[in-house]
Each structure stands twice: as structure tokens, then as C-alpha cells.
Amino acid sequence: MMVGPVEYLVVGFPGNRFTGDIAPELARLIDSGTIRILDLTFIGKDEDGAVVSFEFDQLDELEPFAVMEGDVGGVISDEDIQHAASMLEPGSSAALLVWEDLWATPFADAVEKAGGVMIESARIPKQLIEAAVSSFSPT
């Protein structure tokens, strides 16, 4: 199976204030063919710092994620979960999401056919871009 560029994202929910409101937007991205979910895991850290992880079908609160198609699973390892959990404060949770950028697959194929190789890629956090753009004052 051909796979396009893949990204991961850890979204934290301080104080476990998770509402599931991101599920409809993820579903829209899947339905539009923009992304394909490869794996999705939820992580929690209790007040004592103990880490738990679970899939969307293990908790009723995560039912909105059941409508999403494309979950391959098995991409996120225990090491990935521990890494994501290390960024959480006690009493917080996170979603660890791995997706394929379907929109970028044709470009990645063209780069490969042209003899190019990916040297580096990164996603710049929204807050950094907003700060940079807001400090720019055109003359």
C-alpha cells in the first residue's frame, strides 16, 4: 500500500477538559479526502502521575470518534505513549493522533519521481506563526 506523508500530533487537555468537539472536524477532514487516520490513542495521567492509555472504543465519552473511518492501528507504540505522557501534567489527558496527508501524496510522488528525497519537515505551531505574523507590520 502506497502511503503519503505522515504526521503525528499530541493535543493536550489540561485538567482533563476534553469535550470531543474535535471529532466532527476530524471526520470532515477524513470525508473530504484530506487525511486518513492511521492511529489514534487517548492518554491520561492521574493526580499521582500514573499513565493510562485507551482507544476511542473503550470509553463512552469518546464515542464521537467511532464514526471516523481509516484507522489502521498499531502505529502508535508504548514508547510513543510514554513520550506523549511525559509532556502531561498530573490530572491531564491528551489525544495522540497519527494521520496520512492524502492531499500531499501527489506532491510526494512527484518529488520521488524527480529523484528528490525528503531532508527535513516540521509543523510550526500555530501560536508561533500568529506571533510572527502579528509582529510584522507592512510599510
Domain ranges of the chain: 6-105
What is the tens place of the pLDDT at every residue in 31-60?
888 988 888 888 999 999 999 898 666 555
H/E stretch holding 47 = none
pLDDT above 70 as % of the chain:
83
pLDDT higher at 83 or 68: 83
Identify the pLDDT of residue 82: 94
Spatial distance between the Cα atoms of 98 and 75, rounded to a whole number of angstroms: 8
Spatial distance between the Cα atoms of 96 and 83, rounded to a whole number of angstroms: 10
Q: What average pLDDT score do residues 90-116 get? A: 91
pLDDT above 90 as % of the chain:
30
> Is residue 6 packed enough to be buried (19+ CB in 10 Å), middle (13-18) or exposed (0-12)?
middle
Distances (CA, A) of 138 to 57, 128, 133, 135: 50, 19, 10, 10
The class level of CATH for 6-105 reads alpha beta
Identify the pLDDT of residue 80: 95
CB atoms near residue 8 (< 10 Å): 15
Q: What is the reported pTM?
A: 0.77
Spatial distance between the Cα atoms of 42 and 11, rounded to a whole number of angstroms: 10
Distances (CA, A) of 120 to 5, 91, 92, 117, 123: 12, 35, 31, 9, 11
Is residue 63's pLDDT more than 60? no
CA dihedral for 62, 67, 73, 75, sign (positive or negative)? negative
Identify the pLDDT of residue 62: 53
pLDDT higher at 138 or 13: 13
Distances (CA, A) of 67 to 19, 62, 71: 16, 10, 11
Identify the pLDDT of residue 78: 93
